Amino acid sequence: MWGGRFSTGPDAIMEAINASIDFDKRLGPEDVESSLAHADMLGATGILNVSDVSAIKEGLQEILSELNSGEFQFSADLEDIHMNIEARLKDKIGSPAGRLHTARSRNDQVATDFRLWVRGQIDWVDKNLVDLMKALLDQAQNGVSWIMPGFTHLQTAQPITWGHHMMAYVEMFSRDRSRFKDARDRMNECPLGSAALAGTSFPIDRNQTAKALEFDRPTANSLDAVSDRDFALEFLASSSICAMHLSRLAEELVIWSSAQFRFIELSDRFSTGSSIMPQKKNPDAAELVRAKIGRILGANVGLMTVMKGLPLAYSKDMQEDKEQVFDAADSLNLALCAMEGMIKDLTANKDSLEFAAKSGFSTATDLADWLVRVLNLPFREAHHITGELVGLAEQLKCDLSEIELKEMQRIHSGITEDVFTVLSIENSVKSRSSYGGTSPEEVQFQIDRWKKELG
């Protein structure tokens, strides 16, 4: 490729460290797509004649078919996907293949191909996020009024509804969608035509290629365009946050499916057994989803480290961008699909959820609120009185609602029979009717809102 400048070929070690075809072959379809747009533009501007453009396009379409069918033969000797496709094009159409590289460089070529690939992955992630959110909505609808314990510090805090808990993750994943959308909007500029770093002297039409490739506009600075990998970093950053959300949900599925909780049962389709313990039903899918954050966050840190010290414009270091992004995208999409399957198939145990909600004095806050609202006590005093009543309940080995009124009145004489109206878990969740609260009516409102939003 550069034999005119060099008198000897590269060392075998140099070939090994320099070649990227083993991984960047995934950019094959995108490379053909950007090349077709480039060829059309070269023809429209008169830079190439009609017959050369026609031959180039016909050859590229044949190459795309070979890529899609798995028939394309990749060669490490040709270093990367761009040269592999160019060489194959030359095999097919001869000398016109060499004209395709007019007014472009591999620098703007790979920047364009990689953007196209990442943009496509964002679209897949968005679809998978929507599918997962719909599965969560179905779970929320099924248990819109089922009562379960809400936790802080993994200790019983206040009773909430199953629907409310499911909807918390709908909100989380909606923010992930928003982050990916922002990243997609920002990256949707076309580097093609930036050439090596300075643009080109040929009379190209960058707006034409940008439009053909469904970018919003061409990039405004050729130097930045070929050296920018912010779009990949933003994808990895958004993926890391999304994977963290998936990990939190996976952790809850692992805990909830344990014999100690029995809040849910995962389906056989997303569980495994043990080679030695026949009774085991392991939540392996959830555990593996929980682990994916390590790979994805690692990719984010890895690429950030590669890019942090590079002078403008392109440096070969940037060849190390793709494997990490490819792996992160694969891991995230697989985790999203696995989580959707688990959520779709899981069975929530209404009785276990309700039984757990009645333990741990989960209505203590309702009692404190009653003391404030009915007896007009300062909240700190109400908090102290409630703490004493909880201590009494522990001594008596009973729930707050099972303490006799006269025993409560020994701690505060103003307490009346009316206090028992707030000590049931049912009344507790019904009372949390503020916007975004856990009452079944408010949860149903949010479910309806999201069903309409997602279609």
CA distance 136 to 140: 6
CA distance 386 to 372: 11
| Axis-axis angle for helices 284-307, 230-256 (nearest 10) | 160
Nearest one of 199, 184, 213, 185 to 38, comparing CA atoms: 213
Phi, psi dihedral angles at 112 (to 5 degrees)? -70, -50
Using CB atoms within 10 Å of the CB of residue 138, give its burial: 0 to 12 exposed, 13 to 18 middle, 19+ buried.
middle
Nearest one of 194, 40, 187, 190 to 108, comparing CA atoms: 194
Q: How many residues does the chain have?
A: 455
Q: Residue 164 CB: number of other CB atoms within 10 A?
A: 27
Q: Are 347 and 269 in contact (CB under 8 A)?
A: no
Q: Tokens 């404190």 correspond to what residue? A: 368
Using CB atoms within 10 Å of the CB of residue 222, give its burial: 0 to 12 exposed, 13 to 18 middle, 19+ buried.
buried
Using CB atoms within 10 Å of the CB of residue 309, give its burial: 0 to 12 exposed, 13 to 18 middle, 19+ buried.
exposed
Three-state secondary structure call for residue 190: strand
Q: Per the omega criterion (within 30 degrees of 0), is the bond before 313 cis?
A: yes
Q: Residue 432 CB: number of other CB atoms within 10 A?
A: 21
- DSSP-derived pairing of the beta strands 189-190 and 217-218: parallel
List 178, 258, 274, 315, catalytic entry: 274
Phi, psi dihedral angles at 255 (to 5 degrees)? -65, -50
Q: What is the DSSP letter of 272?
A: B
List 153, 201, 275, 413, catalytic entry: 153
CA distance 129 to 179: 12
Q: Are 453 and 167 in contact (CB under 8 A)?
A: no
Whether residue 383 lies in the annotated active site: no
Nearest one of 200, 327, 315, 300 to 241, comparing CA atoms: 300
Whether residue 153 lies in the annotated active site: yes
Residues catalogued as catalytic: 153, 274
